[in-house]
Amino acid sequence: MAYLRNSWYVAGWDHEVAEEKLLSRRILGELIIFFRDSEGQVKALQGVCPHRFAPLGRGVLDGDVVKCGYHGLGFDSTGACVHNPFGSPPKAMKIRPYPVIEKYSAIWIWMGDEDKADASLVPDFSFNDPEQAWIGKGYMNVKASYELEIENILDLSHIQFLHPTTLGSGQVSEGHYEWKQDGEVIWSNRDVYGEVMTDELSVAMGVEPGAKVDRWINVRWHAPASMAIFAGAVASSRPKSEGRETPTTHLFTPETETSSHYWYAICFPKAMGPMGEAMANEQVEFLKMPFETEDLPMLEDQQINIGDREFRTMKLGWLPGDAAGARARNILYGKIDEEAGAA
Ligand code: FES
Ligand SMILES: [Fe+2]
């Protein structure tokens, strides 16, 4: 499978890269190590030692030098070999550095040409900025392709069937759905009328539990798979302006061709004070249940049925809710092909 290379991918939440520790993670099939240098800046390097292919994550961080845990070669944050316990450091044993940015509570990595890494291309997730919001954060490793994740989030018609007692209701299929394209950004917008949501969702959206409400659920996609959902609800037939919109963040990065990293978060305004902080923590716990026990097994079983066939080449069925996901994947595949052509 070809991946889009010249793009920012999320590699972790900011807190996952801790001081004086190495974090090893597979991204687009490549093992990468992350660490903070003595100034606290996050750095990323190829995670495999060029000497005998030892995983550098089994080594140690000594100041700003990553030391291999097998025979002790040391690499600085530019990837140059700067330490050799047996003589002078061999210049040829250089490892690849990757551009990284810490922004919106996440670590973003550029997997393509270093000179094309433009910080302004990180999509806007300012609502996920710890200065602006209380954020409840989660992570899930999914044994399914990120393409299945793109479709899962862009087609939330599934909440009626896969999440009937958590996120969905029987009214979803009767609601209004439309999708649109804004440049290379895809929106998949859904309005559901006269539904009774679960108590947890009602609390999250600031409406009375048990009351009939109108809910909007707008999904935004940026290539390759950085997504956000802006959802809110108001008492039935009241204007949307009376409601509070709650953003959730859904960031997917291929781990391998058939597995994905999934970082998710829910945000409440800083102005809510300690109540906002408590809600962020409670609500992310609530989301964990449907994500881990409802979406995850479905996605992993889809992948088992697909096997190692390429999703992009498969003949698919068609329902109206598929339009946004199909368009997003077309944009993504177009960009991948464009890169392959340029190469
Ligand atoms: S494998 Fe890393 S120093 Fe030998
Ligand atoms: Fe779901």
Residue 158's pLDDT is what?
A: 97
HSE-CB for 42 with a 13 A CA cutoff: 27
Which among 179, 185, 167, 140 is positioned nearest to 300, based on CA atoms? 140
Contact between 22 and 56 (Cβ < 8 Å): yes
Closest ligand to the CA of 160 = 2
Residue 343's pLDDT is what?
A: 76
Distance 301 CA to ligand 2 centre (A): 14
Residue 204's pLDDT is what?
A: 87
**Residues by chain with Cβ below 5 Å of ion ligand 2:** 295
Mean pLDDT, consecutive 10-residue segments, the chain of 343 residues? 97 95 97 97 98 98 98 98 98 97 98 97 97 96 98 97 95 96 98 94 92 97 98 96 95 98 96 95 96 98 96 95 97 97 84
CB of residue 71 inside a 6 A radius of ligand 1: yes
Give the angle subtended at the CA of 215 by the CAs of 214 and 220, to the nearest 5°: 155
Residue 112's pLDDT is what?
A: 97
Structural domains present in the chain: 8-121 (2.102.10.10), 126-342 (3.90.380.10)
